[in-house]
Each structure stands twice: as structure tokens, then as C-alpha cells.
Amino acid sequence: MAQSMFLRYGGFASVSKIVSAFYGKAIESPLLSPYFEKIDMPRLIDHQTKFFSALMGGPASFSNEELERVHSHLNINEQEFQEMVALLKETLEDFDFDDSDVAAVQGEILSRKRYIVARRVA
């Protein structure tokens, strides 16, 4: 049986470092930084470590309904979502993820876009 991406990249300890680096980039982004001004970053990083671990085949799990619930009040737009995806790709590459693994994680995020990006009513 093939080892999960979560285990191949070192489990929770490594994923936590990746998530911390990702949020370091997000906080520096003029587009994304306003979202983090009043956020408990250690708590967010802990939560997101579990989420990204789940995306990578780890033991945690999150429902799409939960994703929608925690993002619905943020009014994230398409440009902001794409910035997040680009920073995530850059971060995974910084941690020497294989191209196929970068694409797999991006695919997991992109498949959940409708639960993260605000629905606009015309």
C-alpha cells in the first residue's frame, strides 16, 4: 500500500511548518493581510495544520459544510482565492514537494473553492 502524502512529508510536525510558512507569506500579501489583522494566528495555524493534513491523506477530516461555515462571513473573492492558491503552491515548492504532490494539494483546494469564495448575487 502506498504511503500517504501526509506521511511522506513528515506528518503533523512538518505540515505545521509548511502551514506557518504559508501564513507568513499570506500576512505579507497586501491582498490577504487584512484577513489576519485580528486573528489568533497560533490557533489558526493549528486548525489549518489539521485541515492541510487531511488534504494530504492524514488522519484529520473536515466537511465541506464546515469550510463554508467558517469562510462565509469573510466575503473572499476570486482574486483573493487565487492569491492564496498561488502562495500555497509557492510554499509547497519551497518545501520541495514533488510537482505531482503540489498539483494534488492544489486540486484539493480548487475542488473546494465554492465553499470558500463568497457567492456574489448580481
Give pLDDT tens digits for 46-72: 989 999 999 899 987 778 788 888 887
Q: Is residue 4 part of a domain?
A: no
Instruction: Please indicate whether residue 102 or residue 119 has the higher confidence score (pLDDT).
Output: 102
Q: Is residue 112 part of a domain?
A: yes
Residue 17: domain span: 10-116
Q: Is residue 27 part of a domain?
A: yes
Q: Is residue 1 part of a domain?
A: no
Tally of CA atoms within 13 A in the half-sphere of 106 that contains its CB = 19
> What's 54's domain CATH number?
1.10.490.10
Q: Is residue 66 part of a domain?
A: yes
The pLDDT score that the predictor gives to residue 120 is 55
Q: Is residue 2 part of a domain?
A: no
Q: What separation, in Å, do the N-terminal and C-terminal C-alpha atoms of the chain show?
A: 49
The pLDDT score that the predictor gives to residue 122 is 46
Mean pLDDT score of the chain: 90
The pLDDT score that the predictor gives to residue 33 is 94
Q: Judge whether 72 and 118 are in contact, CB under 8 Å.
A: yes
Total domain count, the chain = 1
Q: Is residue 5 part of a domain?
A: no
Q: Is residue 57 part of a domain?
A: yes
